[in-house]
Amino acid sequence: MNSARLKPLVHRPSVVIAGLTVIAILAFVSVGRLASRFREQQKALARRLYARGLDEQRSGHSDLAIEDFRTALGYNRDEFQYQLSLARALRDTGRTDEAEAYLVSLWERAPQDGAVNLALGRLAAREGTIDKAIQYYHNAIYGVWGPNQDANRRNARFELIDFLLGKGARPQAEAELITLAAELPPDPALELRAAQLLIRAQDYERALKQYQKILQREPSSTVALAGAGEAAFRLGRYRAACAYLRTAAASNPQDAQTQQLLETCNLILQADPSRRGLSNAERRRRLRAAFDQAGQRLASCASSQAARAADPSVGAALASLKSDWMRLKPRVEASATTVRADTADTAMDLVFQIEQQTQQQCGPPAGLDQALLLLSQVRGGVDR
């Protein structure tokens, strides 16, 4: 052995550093392989558990699915989809705080991801935080999606509108609806969905146009007919509404809402004394029927108010209408064949006043009273 070899290693730093570097590289490679094998094994295990979780979720066992997703995530913490599925399952089972923690951590990783933003939007919507929900929904609408980007963005906007309407934010919902309608592809299902939202947003004019657009392509679409009928009805276009509703009810007699609207619509058409083409006798009959109906409504409302000992001013208003009604009654009943035009106008004005006043005091009317009340809102009559 020579003297250089006897020299302690510590006195040969370059040799030591070189040696340690080589050992470190070798150790890195070995541990890297080991870690890689470990990761693969963990990923395979995670995939198995994730698939099981999806099955459990599909079969309605969300709690078991959560456990599987959670365990899968424990084995593969970086997997975006596992975390998203877990967050969704947690949200669906009402564990919103935990779901939010997962989603926020996903959002921090990918703030542009449409699915994450949509999930956060839904969560915020569930919690009722409007501003946050709108922000996340907008992120989702303009975010990045994988395949079916347009459809996903559109669905996000549909959900946002639905949420806004649910929260009574009509102006914002209308603004979103206008954008949505402009971007809609020619797909009747989507157009129908948009039209239904327009009805909910009380934008009946646009809704009617949307339904008419659908009917041009699919004239027998019962849903579109019913929707168009409702939109026309809300706009006070009762003749058109009745036509749509009649066709819709004929194709789908089970649709109770359409049937009810049709009945009201028919009542309106049958009750309107100012409708064109009526004989004098029919016009007089309708006027008398309306006048009598209003008198009965006024009497029943006044007696219910008296029984409840309501505000004296209300009683006075009803009494004044009663006195007007009593004063006009002889003139309405005087002629056996015709009614003077000015008497008819005065009588119908009083009928409308009574229906509006009693609606305020005694709640919404039904049957002929409802028809008269709706007529009062389109003073020109159904032929306007």
Interface positions with other proteins (CB under 8 A): 8-11, 13, 16-17, 20, 24, 27-28, 31-32, 34-35, 38, 42, 45, 49, 67-68, 70-71, 74-75, 77-78, 95, 97-98, 101-102, 104-105
Beta carbon nearer to other proteins, 71 or 210: 71
Any residues with CB less than 8 A from the CB of 212 and at least 6 apart, and which?
A: 228
Question: 256-271 vs 238-251: helix axis angle to the nearest 10?
Answer: 140
Q: What is each CA distance from 58 to 5, 96, 98, in whole angstroms?
A: 71, 20, 21
Q: What is the closest distance, in whole angstroms, from the C-beta atom of residue 28 to other proteins in the complex?
A: 7
Nearer to other proteins, 13 or 277 (CB): 13
Shortest CB 139 distance to other proteins, Å: 19
Identify whether the C-beta of residue 77 lies closer than 8 Å to the C-beta of residue 94.
Answer: no
Least Cβ distance, residue 31 to other proteins (angstroms):
5
Round to whole Å and give the CA distance between 12 and 370: 104
| CB 37, min distance to other proteins, A | 9
> What is the maximum span of the chain, computed from C-alpha positions, in angstroms?
144
Q: Is 148 left (phi over 0), alpha (psi -120 to 50) or beta?
A: left
Closer residue to other proteins in complex, CB, 42/304: 42
Q: What is the 3-state secondary structure (H, E, C) of 268-310?
A: HHHHCCCCCCCCHHHHHHHHHHHHHHHHHHHHHHHHHHHHCCC
Nearer to other proteins, 79 or 349 (CB): 79
Nearest distance, CB of residue 79 and other proteins, angstroms: 12
Closer CB to other proteins, 57 or 210, in the complex: 57
Q: What is the DSSP letter of 218?
A: -
Asked whether 301 and 361 are in contact (CB, 8 A), the reply is: yes
Query: CB of 274 within 8 A of CB of 383?
Result: yes
- Minimum Å gap between C-beta 63 and other proteins is 12
DSSP string, 322-334: HHHHHHHHHHHHH
Helix (H) or strand (E) holding 16: helix 13-58
The nearer residue to other proteins, 96 or 266, going by C-beta atoms, is: 96
Q: Pick between residue 74 and residue 363 the one whose CB is nearest to other proteins.
A: 74
- Minimum distance from CB of 199 to other proteins (Å)? 40
Cβ proximity to other proteins: between 21 and 360 the closer is 21
Q: Are 71 and 49 in contact (CB under 8 A)?
A: yes
CB of 40 to other proteins, least distance (A): 12
